């Protein structure tokens, strides 16, 4: 008994000591991020020196070179490109939309084509038909819809505390609205933007077609424009005039950008972490996902600056084409398997650059349980959400190739995210320096803890 | 045993049921705040229709009338004024400051007199002497300081995760700098603003004099101006030219503004909650403390709108003169004791209108323990800090008169607070609608839980 007690005591002491070591190291990561961080300036550079960077655009190519140069400047063990093939859609010249009332009054609308939409054939004019949500459209008779332009006005649910839940509830309207409208003979579909504030910024985003259904143009109205239409259409018949100039070009070659710090013990075992380098073509992709790019790059830089020797290989990936195809994430998952990497964990930051709240985990029950054990270590930094949940679009394909991988998503405060998401307002000025820095250190802390404890 | 088990079972069921009732009611408060809330429009009105409202100013009188009208519009059981006597300091015309280098170059500085400062005697010119912090000034020899203007450049510590801690560490520089400088024969003192960003906004705030030490003028430089001075003074002798036009006028009569919903069971037992109606004279007092005013008013409105019948009397107080004297809080504490009220708890919101993080408690160990039991109920709203801590300046004097009272402070996210605090940038546009609304519902939830369980 005596020896067992001594063993238990020594074992307990060693756990306490390890936690103290972790605690001191994590504090040093936060201190460094907050006083000597590069993240804010790096994000400024990505937003201002490159700007919006939709997959396939010249600016996306520029962003790849920016990423290479920036990662090389930090002197990691290796920096390289991984080739992928991506779709190439472009908006063309700015969209136009207005309604004409029965009195001949003209009301201009704020509108953006959804990503992937087909164009209108020049300027078209059709009667507008209103639906409060996608379900109402599905329930409508064909004769109510045929020959008209469908307007779906589902508002994000303000009572959802986590705004991503409200976004998820509205996603089918954006993603599938064109299919459902076309099934009933509509000429086009316009939707209420997936945004919470009442303002003039339309929110673009991805949508899909069904090869068996006619492809019709699809666009998003600002919430103010949607409110105005919803009010006026109760009173009178409205004709919508619409011109979308977008087009889909042949697929292009592109790249994920990758940097590594090599593992000292298990070089073949990889901890992947990243964000996506592409953005929509409006704004500057500051929160979506410039923040995720600098969170990931700065996390690796902080660990290197702390002279940390990782056991596993730490691989920072700037994924290309998350917004409209996810070819970066899909190709990466296959490529890493083919080359014989063992992927033990992956972390994605793609929910903005706001103050950290915690991490979500898509993994086994043991992974979720382990994540929850981090709460005391990260409490001083006001992280408190450690829950089962989604990892991220880019890392999700890894799950198919590595069934036992642990996927983690960085969870910042979500209240402001859908003010900016996919709009012209997603610019550097709307990212807060300290909040961004706290996210970088949080990412670095999780990478460190996985490396130590997996 | 059988009967005891049944009793235990029924008792446990009743606790579960009570928590379910609480949970449903709290959800309804949040839903209402987020979809039918008045807080954002009320804050807009306070900021734009009234604006800055320093104690003793005409605008502060206007704010009292605004508060009466607004509270009366919500049809509470009573709305009334409580008379207080307040100090009256005013800035006068805008301050001016610049340095002249040895080459005759003129560099204009962004400066604001500290609240309560004496004026300069017109435009004065003196050599500047630099100290990195208040301790360095205290350690200096009199001959180094005599006849000069003291510049103290202590920066807020960016590594403090809770920014209020960094503020507290710098407060003595602002509060006591004039006394320490005057003891050593300085003509005036200028300090680095208590703000975290590097920008051009000086932060004003309170300071004190010692009746035994000469009163010298005191002002705050923007962080950019402070950085510039700190750099240039390493290179050469600098002369500071300074003009402050402030003055202290005779005390004035003013008021706290009070609204109540009367208790159905214990009308004499009061739950006090509020923020402060006064602000500094720059900006619009949006976060400090317009947010606290509308948090408190909206909390009472939400409870009334939910047809809630309180057991204790719920008393919402708009305190006057928190910023430079706390006569509202001090007078209220004495007044409520004299009229025979029993004060069971008080809640203050005076840390801005940002996303809720939780509540701090200045009370007995039992009060802190009780607060922690609320974590599961408030977790769905992302509140997670339930800790021993400060209540608030306005409610703190209640402690002297009611030693067993539980004081609570509303704790929002603090990362952005010292971007705006006491500056021209503390305006309505820098408050986020949903974050403000979540704060209102959090306040309402705590008031409800105290009323139910105390």
Distinct helix (H) and strand (E) counts, chain A: 14, 16
Q: In 3D, which of A169, A171, A173 has the Cα closest to residue A151?
A: A173
**Which chain A residues are Cβ-neighbours of B302 within 8 angstroms?**
none
Residue B52: pLDDT over 90: yes
CA angle A273–A275–A277, rounded 5-degree value: 135
Inter-CA distances, A320 with A83, A211, A390, A428, B127, Å: 10, 25, 20, 20, 58
Provide ipTM, 2 decimals: 0.95
Q: How many residues belong to chain B?
A: 454
Who wins on pLDDT, B218 or B16? B218
- H or E segment and range at residue B171: helix B163-183
pLDDT at B378: 98
Q: Which domains does chain B have, with CATH numbers?
A: 29-84+253-453 (3.40.630.10), 95-248 (3.50.30.30)
Chosen for mutation from A24, A302, A372, A415 (greatest number of chain B CBs closer than 10 Å) is A415
Using a CB-CB cut-off of 8 Å, the residues of chain B touching A159 are: 30-31, 34-35
DSSP A226-293: HHHHHHHHHHS--EEEEE---EEEEEEEEEEEEEEE--SSEEEEEEEEEEES---SSTT-IIIIIHHH
The Cα angle at residue A338 between residues A333 and A340, in degrees rounded to 5: 100
Cα–Cα distance, B178 to A153 (Å, whole number): 60
Residue A377 in contact with residue A16, Cβ under 8 Å? no
The radius of gyration of chain A from alpha carbons, rounded to an integer in Å, stands at 24
Beta strand B111-113 with B218-221 is: antiparallel
A434 with B357: Cβ contact below 8 A: no
Residue A162 neighbours by CB under 8 Å, 6+ apart:
A414, B382
What's the mean per-residue pLDDT of chain B? 96
Cα separation, A154 vs A163, whole angstroms: 15
Please judge whether B382 and A380 are an interchain contact, meaning their C-beta atoms are less than 8 angstroms apart: no
- The pLDDT score that the predictor gives to residue A103 is 84
A355 in contact with chain B, both atoms CB, cutoff 8 A: yes
Please indicate whether, in this complex, the C-beta atoms of B161 and A30 are within 8 angstroms of each other: yes
Residue A158 touches partner B, C-beta closer than 8 Å:
yes
Contact state of B416 with A438 under an 8 Å Cβ cutoff: no
Express each pLDDT in A411-441 by its tens digit. Answer: 999 999 999 999 999 999 999 999 999 999 9
A161–B385 CB contact, under 8 Å:
no
Whether B29 and chain A come into contact, CB under 8 Å, resolves to no
- B34/A contact by beta carbon, under 8 A: yes
Indicate the angle between helix axes A291-305 and A433-453, nearest 10 degrees. 60
Report yes or no: B302 and B368 within 8 Å, Cβ to Cβ.
no
Structure token pair of residue A55 = 């997959």
- A26, A159, A375, A417: which to substitute to probe chain B, counting the most B Cβ within 10 Å? A159
User: Inter-chain contact B384–A380, Cβ cutoff 8 Å?
Assistant: no
Catalytic residues of B: 322
pLDDT, residue A291, reads 98
With a cut of 90, say whether residue A5 has pLDDT above it: no
- State phi, psi for B77 to the nearest 5 degrees: -65, -35
Q: Which of A34, A161, A381 sits opposite B380 (nearest CB)?
A: A161
Distance, in Å, from the CA atom of B407 to the CA atom of B53, rounded to the nearest integer, reads 26
Nearest CA in chain B to A27: B159
Return mean pLDDT, chain A.
96
Among residues B134, B140, B284, the alpha carbon closest in space to that of B218 is found at B134
Residue B381 has pLDDT above 80, yes or no: yes
User: Between A and B, how many residue pairs show a Cβ–Cβ distance under 8 A?
Assistant: 60
Judged by CB atoms closer than 8 Å, whether chains meet at B158 and A434 is answered as yes
- pLDDT tops 50 at residue B1: no
Which residue on chain A is closest to B358 by alpha carbon? A382
pLDDT (tens digit, 9 = 90+) per residue, A155-181?
999 999 999 999 999 999 999 999 999
Residue A13 confidence class, pLDDT cut points 50, 70, 90: low
Q: pLDDT tens-digit profile of A390-415?
A: 999 999 999 999 999 999 999 999 99
């Amino acid at each position: 008994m005596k020896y067992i007690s001594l063993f238990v005591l020594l074992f307990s002491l060693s756990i306490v000591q390890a936690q103290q070591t972790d605690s001191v190291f994590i504090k040093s990561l936060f201190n460094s991020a907050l006083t000597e961080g590069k993240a804010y300036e790096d994000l400024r550079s990505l937003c201002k020196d490159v700007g919006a960077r939709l997959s396939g655009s010249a600016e996306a190519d520029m962003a790849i070179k920016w990423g290479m140069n920036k990662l090389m400047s930090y002197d990691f063990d290796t920096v390289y490109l991984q080739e992928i093939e991506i779709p190439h859609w472009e908006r063309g010249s700015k969209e136009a939309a207005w309604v004409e009332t029965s009195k001949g009054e003209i009301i201009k609308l704020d509108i953006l084509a959804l990503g992937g939409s087909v164009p209108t054939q020049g300027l078209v004019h059709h009667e507008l038909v209103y639906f409060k949500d996608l379900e109402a459209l599905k329930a409508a008779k064909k004769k109510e819809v045929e020959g008209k332009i469908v307007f779906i006005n589902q508002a994000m649910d303000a009572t959802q505390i986590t705004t991503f839940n409200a976004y998820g509830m509205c996603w089918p309207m954006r993603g599938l609205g064109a299919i459902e409208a076309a099934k009933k003979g509509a000429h086009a579909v316009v939707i209420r933007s997936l945004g919470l504030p009442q303002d003039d910024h339309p929110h673009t985003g991805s949508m899909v077609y069904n090869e068996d259904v006619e492809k019709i143009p699809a666009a998003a109205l600002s919430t103010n424009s949607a409110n105005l239409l919803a009010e006026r259409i109760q009173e009178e018949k409205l004709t919508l005039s619409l011109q979308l100039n977008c087009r889909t070009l042949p697929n292009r070659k592109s790249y994920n950008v990758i940097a590594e710090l090599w593992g000292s013990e298990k070089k073949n075992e990889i901890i992947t972490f990243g964000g996506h380098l592409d953005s929509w073509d409006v704004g500057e992709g500051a929160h979506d996902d410039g923040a995720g790019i600098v969170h990931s790059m700065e996390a690796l830089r902080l660990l290197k600056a702390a002279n940390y020797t990782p056991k596993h290989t730490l691989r920072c990936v700037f994924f290309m084409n998350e917004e409209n195809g996810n070819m970066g994430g899909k190709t990466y998952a296959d490529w890493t398997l083919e080359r014989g990497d063992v992927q033990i964990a992956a972390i994605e930051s793609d929910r903005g650059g706001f103050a950290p709240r915690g991490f979500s985990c898509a993994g086994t029950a043991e992974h979720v349980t382990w994540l929850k054990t981090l709460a005391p270590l990260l409490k001083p930094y006001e992280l408190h959400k450690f829950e089962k949940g989604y990892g991220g679009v880019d890392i999700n394909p890894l799950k198919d190739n590595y069934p036992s991988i642990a996927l983690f998503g960085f969870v910042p405060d979500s209240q402001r995210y859908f003010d900016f998401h996919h709009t012209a307002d997603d610019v550097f000025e709307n990212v807060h320096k300290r909040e961004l820095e706290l996210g970088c250190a949080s990412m670095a802390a999780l990478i460190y803890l996985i490396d130590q404890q997996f």
